[in-house]
Structure 1
Amino acid sequence: MLNINEIKRPIAAEIDVFEEKFKASMKTPVHLLDRILYYVVKSKGKKIRPMFVFFSASICGGINEATHRGAVLVELLHTATLMHDDVVDNSYQRRGFFSINALWKNKIAVLVGDYLLSKGLLLSIDNGDFKLLKIVSEAVKQMSEGELLQVEKARRMDISEEIYYEVIRQKTASLIASCCACGAASADADKATIEKMRLFGEKIGIAFQIKDDMFDFGTDDVGKPLGIDIKEKKVTLPLIYALNNSDSGEKKRMINLVKNHNDDPKKISEIISFVKQKGGLEYAETQMKKYQDDAFAILDTFPAGAAKTGLEQLVRFTTERNK
């Protein structure tokens, strides 16, 4: 698998500057908040989203100060939404670290998330980055709609493949799409190019989420506990395909297991075996590669160079990862 540090190398200096600007964006005189935000910075992940911003800017004209502000804006938004998600999902760990709500309880986690959102808004307004703010605000709207659509459909267990794609397009892909669009916009690309990069990011985001959903049912190199989505009654592509390729009796039984026995390890194992037997993982893999190919087709319209290579490698990293 591609090494993230190798992919990052052409923009390593920009990432170092970004990290300093990201830390500076969260400065506060409130001691409790400062302590929490220090923990947040310490537990940050691979910085995939800022990398999409920088490579997208580079392929569209070049990285500048607006690009750095766009990367910080996206990362502030992303961090805030993760905090809110952990509260909603009652999650107590993220990337091997305790979540903010696990250490400081839900009220503080929500308030810190709100604080980060406000810092992102002020960063854009104070610097006149209204184009970037509009792109990211649209992503926030879509992420909220996607979450609510998923909740609505999970209650009735009537999610179709078409609705599944709409959920992940809004919930996950919209943020990666905004990273690529922000990068292009920060480099003063024209509207057509910004939209092209937004669509590129959307394709990657959908492929990314399909890959993530496959982990729930186990692969040879699984990197997350099995059955998490099943426990949360999330109907994902492998399960949708398996249900659509079952007779009515089998389908009814499996839906009943997901709805009413989703905390029983034996029942979860039965659902996972059902999905594997019906070819759900193979089908999801095929669909993921289709979206990956669509992203590459868009990228092929850009000239060769380090930025294009970086984006190609970043796409492969997001879809070939094992966690």
Structure 2
Amino acid sequence: MLNINEIKKPIAAEIDVFEEKFKTSMQSSVPLLDRITHYIVKRKGKQIRPMFVFFSASICGGINESTHRGAALVELLHTATLVHDDVVDNSYQRRGFFSINALWKNKIAVLVGDYLLSKGLLLSIDNGDFSLLKIVSEAVKQMSEGELLQIEKVRRMDISEAVYYEVIRQKTASLIASCCACGAASAGANDEVVEKMRLFGENIGIAFQIKDDMFDFGTDDVGKPLGIDIKEKKVTLPLIYALNNSTPGDKRRMIGLVKNHNDDPKKIAEIIAFVKEKGGLEYSEIQMKKYQEAAFGILDTFPAGDARTGLEQLVRFTTERNK
């Protein structure tokens, strides 16, 4: 698999400019806020979301100032949701580092999230990027709805395959979809092309989440702790398939283990073995590839070139990764 820096090469200069602009977009006159936003910027990830924005703009007409603002908007609103999520989940780590709420407590973390959200809104409003603001705001709305839908269904442990897809479409896929749609819209693409790119991103997002859910039942060297979704009582595709292809007695027993013994390592190992025995991972791999191929099918309708190659490589990087 290609290294992310190799994939980034055609737009590396744009990403460098974006990073400086993103830092500037977070600046405040309050010293405490500046310290916290500096901490956030220093611990940035692989820049996958901005890369989707820039490559999508490239394939739809070209990168411009609006594209940079779109990438910053996505990052600001997404970072705000992550800061808030860590408070909601009572999580003290993010990408191996202390979370904002772990270092500065919940009240400050919530306020920082609100600040980042407002900076994103103002960045778009001040520059008249209303189409980009609408795209990303819709994604944030769907992410919240997806999270609440999952919480509601987890309580009942009655998630069907259809509900699972709706949850991950809203929670995960909507954000990647907004990146691709933002890139297209910033380049001046018409509504039909923007929607095509949105669907492209949605398919990637669904494939990405299925792959991520499979790691919960894989080997323990993939970077994600085994059974973490089980501990959080998340009913994911491998488990759904296994439950739907077992006897009523086995199904009741496994649901009982997930509900009542999700902190017991032996019981978690039993659930993982059950999922593997019933073919949950193989089935999930097939479904993941269907969404991956759907994304490639959309991409094939665009002209060949660096932008299309970059997007193809990004799709493979996000859906064929080992961690």
Per the normalisation by structure 2, the TM-score is 0.99
User: Which ranges in structure 1 are unaligned for 5 or more consecutive residues?
Assistant: none
Residue 149 of structure 1 is matched in structure 2 by: 149
Distance 1:314 1:241 in 2: 28
2:219·2:226 contact (CA, 8 Å) conserved in 1? Answer: no
Residue 280 of structure 1 is matched in structure 2 by: 280
Does residue 242 of structure 1 match 2:242? yes
Residue 296 of structure 1 is matched in structure 2 by: 296
Identity of aligned residues (%): 87
State the Cα deviation string for residues 49-96 of structure 1 (Å, max 9, x = none).
000000000000000000000000001111111111111112211111
Aligned-pair CA distance for 1:18:
0.3
Residue 321 of structure 1 is matched in structure 2 by: 321
Query: Which residues of 2 match residues 24-173 of structure 1 at below 5 A?
Result: 24-173=24-173
Letter in 1 for 2:237: L
Aligned-pair CA distance for 1:221:
5.0
Distance 2:299 2:74 in 1: 22
Structure 1 residue matching 2:75: 3-state secondary structure: helix
State the Cα deviation string for residues 242-277 of structure 1 (Å, max 9, x = none).
100100000000000101111111111111111111
Letter in 2 for 1:10: P
Letter in 2 for 1:277: E
Distance 1:9 1:82 in 2: 28
Moved more, 94-103 or 72-81: 94-103
Distance 1:219 1:181 in 2: 35
Distance 1:239 1:89 in 2: 22
Letter in 1 for 2:307: A
Structure 2 residue matching 1:142: 3-state secondary structure: helix
Structure 1 residue matching 2:223: 3-state secondary structure: coil
Letter in 2 for 1:166: E
Structure 1 residue matching 2:205: 3-state secondary structure: helix
Structure 2 residue matching 1:21: 3-state secondary structure: helix
Q: Aligned-pair RMSD on alpha carbons?
A: 0.9
- Paired residue total: 323
Residue 4 of structure 1 is matched in structure 2 by: 4
Distance 1:20 1:245 in 2: 52
Distance 1:109 1:64 in 2: 33
Distance 2:200 2:128 in 1: 26
Residue 184 of structure 2 is matched in structure 1 by: 184
Distance 2:306 2:113 in 1: 35
Distance 2:130 2:123 in 1: 10
Moved more, 70-79 or 99-108: 99-108
Residue 223 of structure 1 is matched in structure 2 by: 223
Distance 1:144 1:318 in 2: 23
Distance 2:130 2:65 in 1: 14
State the Cα deviation string for residues 186-212 of structure 1 (Å, max 9, x = none).
000000000000000000000011111
Distance 1:3 1:17 in 2: 21
State the Cα deviation string for residues 15-64 of structure 1 (Å, max 9, x = none).
00000000000101111111111110011100000000000000000000
Distance 2:289 2:80 in 1: 30
Letter in 1 for 2:277: Q
Letter in 1 for 2:111: L
Aligned-pair CA distance for 1:7:
0.2
Distance 1:282 1:86 in 2: 32
Aligned-pair CA distance for 1:219:
3.7
Letter in 2 for 1:226: L
Moved more, 125-134 or 106-115: 106-115
Moved more, 178-187 or 97-106: 97-106
2:231·2:262 contact (CA, 8 Å) conserved in 1? Answer: yes
